[in-house]
């Protein structure tokens, strides 16, 4: 397919994001100023010059009153009364503020952003008043406990700026996530080895380069999988042909050895014939193992069908009884199943159960006793098989379901080639189930549990 390599570069996208953030901050500043202005002109707030206006309105009284009456001054103001020669006559200022007022009188210091001084000429000297240039609440309780209005403006600016940045970041994250969707979808499909799909494209140039690389990787992976499949198919065919070719000479050797055994032989000759029969039997078992290995990766071609739990239970019971009759095996059954439906390949499931039972027989005592428990809960169908052997070792619990694993010597059998539990595990995985290994609580025997999901309906 042809993936479009054009689109915006990540550098351009990042610049757009920064421009968006800058615009958002300007908008936040405008909103904060507007909110502060609307709040300032409301009936709850006194303007910044209200004290100055009150002082000017009372200027005549303040300049002519004799004696000086400080009650005429507005609340929250400070005063300094000086004589004609600059001596302090009266004041409610602290020492630091007095020094600043004297400096103002001598024209050495002026008003600040938050406060100012005003000098009024009196008949007996000078009156210097210090007042605030900040807006204030009308209500004295609000003025005492609420944050200053300038602080409110700062809080509004921070809140609007933070909200703007979060919103813009969320929008751009959503946009970038949308551009990442083709890459995520492609990686998921490739991980599933589903290579029959079309890779999408993005509006970002760098993302398209990655998608192009993923498309090339998909094609290369497809070719590799096809090559591996052909090799595996050839390997299975070779194993199948070799196994088939081995059957005839093995049968001939076994047949002639049986005939030779029925002829007059010396004790030494009989011993040699027994060796021939014993090892021919082993070769036959090895050939059967090769057949199982060749079939172990074919379970994905099984067919799942909707079957009732009762029918599955009956099938498992019959298969277990057949192997019990041919191996002098005692099976104790416990059945507790409900009427449910499950998707299952019955032949594969029977093979898994028989493999587990054969494995249990190999590791049981001289008189094998197996417990077969079949039960259901709300979501799963359980097949539990317990033997009366020595149980699993710690290593067995971890590796017993691996291909060709034979365990330690205490549980090792000449007939055990590490196929049974491995094949059972693979069949469980095909059914979206699992196989669990554990030992009985009293330490007498190993337990294998096969867990299969039930249908939702």
Q: pLDDT tens, 345-380?
A: 888 898 889 889 888 888 777 777 889 999 999 999
In a shared domain, residues 325 and 281: no
Predicted confidence at residue 43, as pLDDT, reads 65
Highest mean pLDDT among 42-46, 202-206, 333-337: 333-337
Residue 110, domain extent:
49-133
Q: Over 80: is that where the pLDDT of 289 sits?
A: no
In a shared domain, residues 304 and 447: yes
State the average pLDDT for the chain: 82
Count up the domains in the chain and report the number.
3
Distances (CA, A) of 246 to 283, 296, 315, 370: 9, 20, 33, 35
Evaluate whether residue 194 is within a structural domain.
Answer: no
Among 133, 161, 192, the domain-final residue is 133
Evaluate whether residue 214 is within a structural domain.
Answer: no
Report the C-alpha gap between 423 and 194 in whole angstroms: 25
In a shared domain, residues 228 and 128: no
Helices and strands, number each (H, E), in the chain: 12, 13
Evaluate whether residue 19 is within a structural domain.
Answer: no
In a shared domain, residues 255 and 310: no
In a shared domain, residues 305 and 420: yes
Report the C-alpha gap between 72 and 335 in whole angstroms: 102
Evaluate whether residue 38 is within a structural domain.
Answer: no
In a shared domain, residues 449 and 336: yes
Predicted confidence at residue 285, as pLDDT, reads 64
Report the C-alpha gap between 312 and 288 in whole angstroms: 27
Evaluate whether residue 160 is within a structural domain.
Answer: no
In a shared domain, residues 428 and 284: no
pTM: 0.44
In a shared domain, residues 352 and 283: no
On the CB side of 233, CA atoms within 13 Å amount to 6
Report the C-alpha gap between 2 and 19 in whole angstroms: 33
Report the C-alpha gap between 419 and 429 in whole angstroms: 15
Q: Provide φ and ψ at 343, rounded to 5°.
A: -95, 120
Predicted confidence at residue 274, as pLDDT, reads 81
The shares of helix, strand and coil residues in the chain, as percent rounded to the nearest 5, are 55, 15, 30
In a shared domain, residues 358 and 405: yes
Q: Over 90: is that where the pLDDT of 420 sits?
A: no
Evaluate whether residue 147 is within a structural domain.
Answer: no
Buried b (16+ CB within 10 A) or exposed e, 413-424: eeebbbbbbbbb
In a shared domain, residues 335 and 402: yes
């Amino acid at each position: 397919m042809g993936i479009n390599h054009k689109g915006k570069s990540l550098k351009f996208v990042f610049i757009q994001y920064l421009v968006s953030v800058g615009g958002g901050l300007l908008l936040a500043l405008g909103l904060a100023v507007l909110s502060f202005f609307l709040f300032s002109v409301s009936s709850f707030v006194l303007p910044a010059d209200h004290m100055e206006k009150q002082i000017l309105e009372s200027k005549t009284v303040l300049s002519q009153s004799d004696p000086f009456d400080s009650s005429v001054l507005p609340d929250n103001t400070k005063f300094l009364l000086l004589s004609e020669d600059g001596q302090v006559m009266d004041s409610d200022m602290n020492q630091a503020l007095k020094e600043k007022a004297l400096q103002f009188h001598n024209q050495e210091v002026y008003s600040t952003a938050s406060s100012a001084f005003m000098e009024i000429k009196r008949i007996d000297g000078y009156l210097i008043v210090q007042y605030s240039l900040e807006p204030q609440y009308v209500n004295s309780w609000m003025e005492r406990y609420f944050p200053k209005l300038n602080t409110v403006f700062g809080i509004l600016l921070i809140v609007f700026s933070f909200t703007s940045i979060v919103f813009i970041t969320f929008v751009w994250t959503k946009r970038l996530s949308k551009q990442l969707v083709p890459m995520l979808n492609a990686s998921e499909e490739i991980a599933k080895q589903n290579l029959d799909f079309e890779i999408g494209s993005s509006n970002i140039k760098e993302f398209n380069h990655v998608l192009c690389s993923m498309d090339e990787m998909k094609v290369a992976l497809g070719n590799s999988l096809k090559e591996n499949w052909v090799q595996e198919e050839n390997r299975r065919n070779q194993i199948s042909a070799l196994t088939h070719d081995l059957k005839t000479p093995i049968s001939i050797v076994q047949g002639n050895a049986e005939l030779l055994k029925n002829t007059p032989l010396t004790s030494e000759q009989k011993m040699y014939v027994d060796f021939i029969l014993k090892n021919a039997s082993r070769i036959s078992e090895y050939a059967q193992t090769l057949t199982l290995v060749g079939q172990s990766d074919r379970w994905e071609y099984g067919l799942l069908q909707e079957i009732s739990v009762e029918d599955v239970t009956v099938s498992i019971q019959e298969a277990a009884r057949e192997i019990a009759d041919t191996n002098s095996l005692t099976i104790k059954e416990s059945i507790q199943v409900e009427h449910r439906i499950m998707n299952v390949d019955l032949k594969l499931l029977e093979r898994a159960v028989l493999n587990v039972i054969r494995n249990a027989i190999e590791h049981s005592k001289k008189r094998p006793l197996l417990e077969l428990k079949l039960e259901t809960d709300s979501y799963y169908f359980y097949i539990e098989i317990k033997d009366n052997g020595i149980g699993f070792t710690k290593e067995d619990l971890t590796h017993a379901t691996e291909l060709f694993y034979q365990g330690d010597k205490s549980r090792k059998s000449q007939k055990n080639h590490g196929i049974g539990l491995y094949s059972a595990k693979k069949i469980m995985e095909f059914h979206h189930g699992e196989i669990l290994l554990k030992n009985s609580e009293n330490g007498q025997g190993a337990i294998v549990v096969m867990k299969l999901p039930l249908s939702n309906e």
